[in-house]
Structure 1
Amino acid sequence: MVGKKRTLKKHDKRVVVVGGGTGSSVILRGLKLFTENITAIVTVADDGGGSGVLREDLGMLPPGDIRSCILALADDEGIMQQLLNYRFEEGMLKGQSFGNLFLAAMNGISGNFMEAVKNASDVMAIKGTVLPISLDQITLRATFQNGETVNGESIIPARAIERKTKIKEVSIDPADAKPLPEAIDAIMDAQAIIIGPGSLYTSIIPNLLVEGMKEALLKTKAKRFYISNIMTQPGETEGYDVWDHVQAIAAHMKCDSQEIFDYIVINRGKELGESLEKYQQGGAARVRFLEERFAGMSYELIKDDFSEIKSQYIRHNAYKVAEAILEKV
């Protein structure tokens, strides 16, 4: 990485990342090496874990994915990041992260959740802006292929596994949830919009169902990228290849995928050894890429070895992905 930084091409491209959770955080860490003009638009449908507890107890929007993106864009990822990522291991706070509590406290002393996010971002001196997709309390609903419907982002994958069925579609309640105006403005002003990687049905698609998002993505003059996941996710995308991911997004947005995306970023990397075996034991597999399924499509395919292994986890190489995308902008 040291050698790469010496040849780093800095620029001021306006980039928007749409998603949430680990996937967005990884990509943001790569992008901030190239530009500080970044906006992360983050899902607020999470209702599990520490975020879910705070959402229920305090009536606030879930802070977990927001926290992850703020930390990813922080100028200094040293002791403050360790502090905000710290999870209590016992007592009434067991399982809760200090970062979530920090955002909850900010929410308490701020005028609203958006102001709390801005204040937290200022404290962390982040390179860019983090925005919740909406200030509405959004509940995610899934309909399975067996006809069953469940509410709540946190239970959807587990219920699919339990019932041995697959997700047919997801929706949000309220269906007319309003986007944060700054999020739409960022999309319209962007030069590049990156959707993914991340949990397809619980992190990516919920953002795209918020009112006005489809229209903004169709009208923007930005180049639009979809980053395919490297691994499938049990309870969400078993058996899915890259094409299936793209088409699921298009189906939920009720338009042709070629209207949404200009580029698809695809990992075509090496075998992943022992780490892959651990994923397979948990029911995950590599997301396959079948070239023939993309025949005649208008978008450009960006194919490379974009994977790396960190602490036994398979992740995108954030530097390589950011570099490959920004070369097209």
Structure 2
Amino acid sequence: MRRLKLCLIGGGTGLSVMARGLKHYPVDITAIVTVADDGGSTGKIRDVMDIPAPGDIRNVLAALSDVEPLLEKLFQYRFKSEALGNHPVGNLMIAAMTDVTSDFGHAVSELSKILNVKGTVIPSTNTSPILNAIMEDGEIVVGESLIPLKNKKIDSVFLTPSHIKAMDEAVDAINEADLIVLGPGSLYTSIIPNIVLEDIGQALIHSEAKKLYVSNIMTQPGETTGYTVSDHIEAIHKHVGEPFIQFVIANIEMLNENITKNYIARNATQVACDIGAIDALNIKLITDPELVSVNMDHMVRHNNEILAEMIYELALSEISTIEFKEGED
């Protein structure tokens, strides 16, 4: 007997929020996390230690941890002193463990034990890649943190050095998964940096698992301005080389005027759910009237509990072998 295996792919806050909701379900979670970030504390540690970016890894470790709240708070605590580099304690712990173990992937694994992580957190690669973007006008922008600042339409992104090897454990997780979930999160700087790794892209195409994309609610300035849900999906397929997504979770409810005005001031708009285009891609749309939550500042987020429930119910309804795979004991 075994539990349903979910493989989550992404980065940023979106992946950690989704993981936090799913850890309460009877599933085995593996999170494959981007390490291409080069801004803030993460960027400083990358430059000094020449290790993959720890920030997104830290957030997912915290989300999946099962420790005393104070320990999680300590892990996520960010020093406010410039003399201490404004570093979160967790970033420093990951850097220190990398020094101790001489291997970033091993460091993440050992910290997972210390934090009693309910699942497995895997960097997409054990190297320190640089994310580059080719804009529609042909300009090449080097560095993840600089890409959105250009405010140009992105044609494609790629990692350097070329031919970066994905973590073997990441490829294995995709091959062994029952359901693979991409997103939510920044399309070009959190999700796609994982799947442009050839090993991961090929594994996604050939995996027998069901594949789900969780669409963002709002567009991101300098990255997905004007994008619809189908635009997000087609960008993912373009970077892998073949269509592979079968399901999408997206919001179809119109946001109220106060929320819309708040986001227009930030150069963002609601991601339009173009149902006809999604149907034309032969992708099944899944939605819920309670999928979006709104805070006091009129900022929208995925309702963590609803999203986790939707993903779990999809797995139960679409995957025919929940506890057994044919030929396994």
TM over 0.5: yes
What residue is the counterpart of 1:50 in the other structure?
Answer: 41
Residue 263 in 1 paired to residue 247 in 2? yes
* Paired residues, number: 312
Q: Report the CA distance between 1:34 and its aligned residue.
A: 0.6
What residue is the counterpart of 1:318 in the other structure?
Answer: 304
Residues 85-96 of structure 1 aligned to structure 2 (within 5 Å): 85-96=76-87
Q: TM-score, normalised by structure 2?
A: 0.90
Contact 2:215 2:232 in 1 (8 A): yes
- When residues 90 and 276 of structure 1 are mapped into structure 2, their CA distance, relative to the original with a 3 A threshold, is farther
Distance in 2, matches of 1:55 and 1:142, equals 20
Question: Please, which of 74, 85, 107 is the counterpart of residue 83 of structure 1?
Answer: 74
Structure 1 residue matching 2:270: 3-state secondary structure: coil
Q: Report the CA distance between 1:277 and its aligned residue.
A: 3.3
Cα deviations by residue, 1:169-210 (Å, 9 ceiling, x for unpaired): 111112211010011111111111000111000111110011
Contact 2:4 2:28 in 1 (8 A): yes
Taking only the aligned residue pairs, the percentage that are identical comes to 40
Structure 2 residue matching 1:136: 3-state secondary structure: coil
Distance in 1, matches of 2:270 and 2:209, equals 30
Contact 1:19 1:43 in 2 (8 A): yes
Contact 2:35 2:125 in 1 (8 A): yes
Residues 185-224 of structure 1 aligned to structure 2 (within 5 Å): 185-224=172-211
Residue 153 in 1 paired to residue 147 in 2? no
Distance in 2, matches of 1:298 and 1:291, equals 11
Residue 68 in 1 paired to residue 59 in 2? yes
Structure 1 residue matching 2:98: 3-state secondary structure: helix
**Ranges of 4+ aligned residues in structure 1 off by more than 6 Å:** none
What residue is the counterpart of 1:227 in the other structure?
Answer: 214
Contact 2:53 2:128 in 1 (8 A): no
Distance in 1, matches of 2:296 and 2:31, equals 25
Cα deviations by residue, 1:137-188 (Å, 9 ceiling, x for unpaired): 2111111122211110011101x22xxx211111111221101001111111
Structure 2 residue matching 1:301: 3-state secondary structure: strand
Contact 1:47 1:153 in 2 (8 A): yes
Q: Which moved more, 1:62-71 or 1:90-99?
A: 90-99
Q: Report the CA distance between 1:297 and its aligned residue.
A: 3.3
What residue is the counterpart of 1:309 in the other structure?
Answer: 294
Contact 1:265 1:301 in 2 (8 A): yes
Contact 1:87 1:94 in 2 (8 A): no
Residues 137-148 of structure 1 aligned to structure 2 (within 5 Å): 137-148=128-139
- When residues 275 and 35 of structure 1 are mapped into structure 2, their CA distance, relative to the original with a 3 A threshold, is farther
Specify the code of the residue in structure 2 equivalent to 1:181: D
Contact 1:175 1:210 in 2 (8 A): no
Q: Report the CA distance between 1:268 and its aligned residue.
A: 2.2
Q: Report the CA distance between 1:77 and its aligned residue.
A: 6.2
Cα deviations by residue, 1:5-45 (Å, 9 ceiling, x for unpaired): xxxxxx93100000011010111011101135100000011
Q: Report the CA distance between 1:94 and its aligned residue.
A: 4.0
RMSD: 1.7
Distance in 1, matches of 2:55 and 2:169, equals 20
What residue is the counterpart of 2:240 in the other structure?
Answer: 253
Structure 2 gap ranges (5+): 316-329
What residue is the counterpart of 1:300 in the other structure?
Answer: 284
Q: TM-score, normalised by structure 1?
A: 0.90
Residues 114-133 of structure 1 aligned to structure 2 (within 5 Å): 114-133=105-124
Contact 2:219 2:227 in 1 (8 A): yes
Q: Which moved more, 1:205-214 or 1:311-320?
A: 311-320
Specify the code of the residue in structure 2 equivalent to 1:219: H
Residues 179-190 of structure 1 aligned to structure 2 (within 5 Å): 179-190=166-177
Structure 1 residue matching 2:141: 3-state secondary structure: strand
Structure 2 residue matching 1:284: 3-state secondary structure: coil
Structure 2 residue matching 1:14: 3-state secondary structure: strand
What residue is the counterpart of 2:96 in the other structure?
Answer: 105
Distance in 2, matches of 1:180 and 1:111, equals 16
Residue 289 in 1 paired to residue 273 in 2? yes
Distance in 2, matches of 1:280 and 1:48, equals 25
Distance in 2, matches of 1:35 and 1:279, equals 37
Specify the code of the residue in structure 2 equivalent to 1:215: Q
Residue 28 in 1 paired to residue 19 in 2? yes
Structure 1 residue matching 2:314: 3-state secondary structure: coil
What residue is the counterpart of 2:325 in the other structure?
Answer: none
- When residues 137 and 278 of structure 1 are mapped into structure 2, their CA distance, relative to the original with a 3 A threshold, is same
- When residues 64 and 326 of structure 1 are mapped into structure 2, their CA distance, relative to the original with a 3 A threshold, is same
